[in-house]
Structure 1
Amino acid sequence: MTFTAFFDINNTLVTIPLGSGYDMSWIEAIGTLFGLLCIWYASQEKTINYLFGLLNVSLFAILFYQIQLYGLLLLQVFFFVANVYGWYAWTRPNEHGETLEVRWMSPKKQTVTLVISIVAVALMTLYIDPIFVALTHLSLELLSVFGVVLPAPELEPDSYPFWDAAITILSIVAQILMTRKYVENWILWVAINLLSIGVYTAQGVYALSVEYLILLFIAIHGTREWVATAKQRKAPTGKELHV
């Protein structure tokens, strides 16, 4: 297999006996593996998770480009930037020479985050089709800057607008919270994975359902680990050692 053939979605690694059979390409398999490693190392509070995260979103951006899901391609750009920032935030010491510590959000931040998430999900649910059309056209314009000229695909109406909007918005929020080492990010990932399993099962995409089932168990593990870590890092007075 040549180096360029690795990135071809038609280069099948294995056919998974789920449903009528699912041909998993090399790029999807390796990208998925990097994604699982990213989430696992994040649950262990290991900064190397961001290296695997960058590899994961880069490969999936190439995958979405080939199957003409340009809105999702643009979302990978956000996750790429978030991974770069997270790597920086996790390793940059503050004025006291300390790095970020796992902790809970303050009640005020929890309320603000909840309100923003609810409003964003509601708005995206109402306007999800034009939003993804706009994202698709933006992706095409960005690609044209690099000399890649592609015809705009015909996008069908979203099958599950509310659930799709919820998964998209909550994924963005959870990723941001992870970069700041807030425990709540794992609670959101548990919810996201449960929603994803339901949506992909309903659509008959059983391979992705299995993948998100694995991610669900990792997210549950991450929740337990980070809750315990946050508890251990509180001072005897009940105040956090680092905010």
Structure 2
Amino acid sequence: MTTTIKNYFHDWTKFELVWLIASTLIMITLSIIWQDTPIALISGITGIIGVVLCAKGKISTYFFAVINVALYAFICYNAKLYGETMLNALYFLPMNFIGFFLWRKHQSNGGDVIVRNLTKKGIILLTVVTAVSVIAYWQLLIFLGGHLALIDATTTIISVIALLLQVTRYSEQWILWIIVNIISIIMWVMLFMENDPSAVTMITMWSAYLINAFYGYFNWRKIASTE
């Protein structure tokens, strides 16, 4: 058992190990101090572990992601963030299973995912599709009476596209995740001001996601350049 664990972490840098442990401990500490809900804490911890593993290109990211998105969907439903609820329950959850099988087919000899980059035409198309989709979904959420409709629509649409890029192994996913993380932090700060019981843990989780997304972009570009 000990040997298996050592083999799994043999290619991790000290920064990556310290970041994983520190972010998890900070999440637990703040959750206890602010008396956050157990569901929010579990969602936050599994989310942080999942994104760190994703930045490393490890297929095990999807195990933690399934737990995270299922619980996060419940949290968002209680906060009346219907766009986020539908995103996690109807898209993220099944896409994580799809991502697992796609990554499994494209692994290096070391077990990490094989990374690729978008072309310039692909980036332009991505930008146009994202902008049009955000506007359309924003109007739908207004019709449904959703809370923070524009922010909700923006994070939802960009997240949909970012996950699609993730399961298809494109490094540009991290640029979109950076945008999503910044907007999500703003959204949960606003909910914190409204005394939402899960806000503190969610702010911590999305802040950790943001830091990890910058590292994920750097690491995936480095991986892509060596393949």
TM-score range, shorter-chain basis? 0.7 to 0.9
> Residue 125 of structure 1: CA displacement?
2.4
1:14 aligns with 2:32: yes
1:119 aligns with 132
- The 2-side partners of 1:128 and 1:71 are apart by 7
Is the contact made by 2:84 and 2:152 (CA closer than 8 Å) also made in structure 1? no
RMSD of the alignment, in Å? 2.6
Aligned CA distance change for structure 1 residues 53 and 193 (closer, same or farther; 3 Å): same
1:71 deviation in Å?
5.1
TM-score by length of 2: 0.73
* Counterpart residue number, 2:211: 217
Q: Output the CA distance in 2 between the equivalents of 1:71 and 1:117.
A: 15
For 1:153-178, what per-residue CA distance to the aligned partner results, in whole angstroms no more than 9, with x for missing partners?
xx5x533x332221111011111100
> Structure 1 residues 26 and 79 mapped into 2: Cα distance closer, same or farther (>3 Å)?
same
Tell me if the contact between 1:47 and 1:87 (Cα under 8 Å) persists in the aligned partners. Answer: yes
- Superposed, 1:1-243 pairs within 5 Å as 14-16=32-34, 23-64=35-76, 72-77=84-89, 78-92=91-105, 101-130=114-143, 133=144, 155=145, 158-159=147-148, 161-204=149-192, 207=200, 208-233=202-227
- The structure carrying a bigger helix percent of its residues is 2
1:179-226 per-position Cα deviation (integer Å, ceiling 9, x unaligned) = 011011011111111122223224435513232111111111101100
TM-score by length of structure 1 reads 0.68
Q: Which has the higher contact order (CA 8 A, sep 6+)?
A: 2
**Amino acid in structure 1 at the alignment position of 2:123:** Q
Q: CA deviation at 1:110?
A: 1.7
Q: Deviations over 1:118-149 (max 9, x none)?
A: 1001112233222xx3xxxxxxxxxxxxxxxx
Give 1:74 deviation, angstroms: 3.0
Structure-2 change in CA distance of 1:75 and 1:184 (3 Å) = same
Contact 1:57 1:79 in 2 (8 A): yes
Write the deviation string for residues 71-103 of structure 1: whole angstroms up to 9, x where unpaired.
543322210111001001001259xxxx96211
Q: Which moved more, 1:113-122 or 1:56-65?
A: 56-65
Partners of 2:76 and 2:190 lie apart in 1 by 21
Q: CA deviation at 1:227?
A: 0.9
Report the structure number with the largest CA radius of gyration: 1
- What is the percentage of aligned positions where both structures have the same residue? 25
Secondary structure of the residue aligned to 2:48 is helix
Say whether the 8 Å CA contact 2:106–2:114 is kept in structure 1: no
Unaligned runs of 5+ in 1: 1-12, 17-22, 134-154, 234-243
Contact kept in structure 2, 1:101 and 1:181, CA below 8 Å: yes
| Number of the residue aligned with 2:15 | none
- Would you say the 8 A contact 2:51–2:209 is kept in 1? yes
Give the match's secondary structure for 2:32.
strand
Task: Give 2:56's aligned amino acid.
Answer: Q
Q: Report the more deviating stretch, 205-214 or 39-48.
A: 205-214
Deviates more, 1:28-37 or 1:44-53: 28-37
Compare 120-129 and 99-108 and name the one that shifted more.
99-108
Cα 1:127–1:185 shift into 2, 3 Å:
same
